[in-house]
Amino acid sequence: MDNLIKGAHKSVSETIERVTEIVNKYDTQEFCYWGIELKASGELIGAIDLFKFDNMTENCDVGYSIGYKWWNKGYGTEALRAVIEFGFRHMKIHKISAAHNTDNPASGKIMRKVGMEHEGTIKHMIRNAKNHYKDCAVYGLLQEDYLKTEVIK
């Protein structure tokens, strides 16, 4: 959770508040927040969302997190790939972007694995819950480039 701007929840009530907020927004058109569950057991292991929709550009951002005990099993890559596919093919999003702290290389790895391109690094782009400034690597993928590579595959 140190890699997320708001940090870890400090109480169960904070989590309940957040989950309630998410559920209440399900009917809103520009709200895309998915739980990630194991196919075999249905166990909830993480979440992924498309956010910061911009009507002027039809661009948005993607964010994700997987529970620690399920890291490095390919789930983050699988979820990101699925959401990018959904965003470009069904929602017709123009560009999907994401940023990760430079001290969180696993996140950059999954972005590259799904075809997102490194566009640069921004110094002190965020200040996290522990009051530390973090440099962030910014990635993006255009729908037109995604569709081209999908045709080649």
Ligand X SMILES: CC(C)(COP(=O)(O)OP(=O)(O)OC[C@H]1O[C@@H](n2cnc3c(N)ncnc32)[C@H](O)[C@@H]1OP(=O)(O)O)[C@@H](O)C(=O)NCCC(=O)NCCS
Residues that bind ligand X (CB under 6 A): 3-4, 64-66, 71-77, 100, 104-107, 109-110
Closest approach of Cβ 81 to ligand X, in Å?
9
Would residue 62 be called left, alpha or beta, if left means φ above 0 and alpha means ψ between -120 and 50 degrees?
beta
**Are 39 and 85 in contact, with CB atoms under 8 Å apart?**
no
Nearer to ligand X, 45 or 91 (CB): 45
Closest approach of Cβ 95 to ligand X, in Å?
17
In sequence order, the 6+-apart residues with CB closer than 8 A to the CB of 98 are 61, 62, 63, 107, 111, 116, 138, 139, 140
Nearer to ligand X, 117 or 144 (CB): 117
Residue sitting closest to ligand X (CB): 76
Nearer to ligand X, 55 or 72 (CB): 72
Closest approach of Cβ 122 to ligand X, in Å?
13
Q: Is 52 helix (H, G, I), strand (E, B) or coil?
A: strand
Nearer to ligand X, 18 or 148 (CB): 18
Closest approach of Cβ 139 to ligand X, in Å?
9
CA 40 to chain centre: 23
* CA–CA gap between residue 110 and residue 77 (Å, rounded): 5
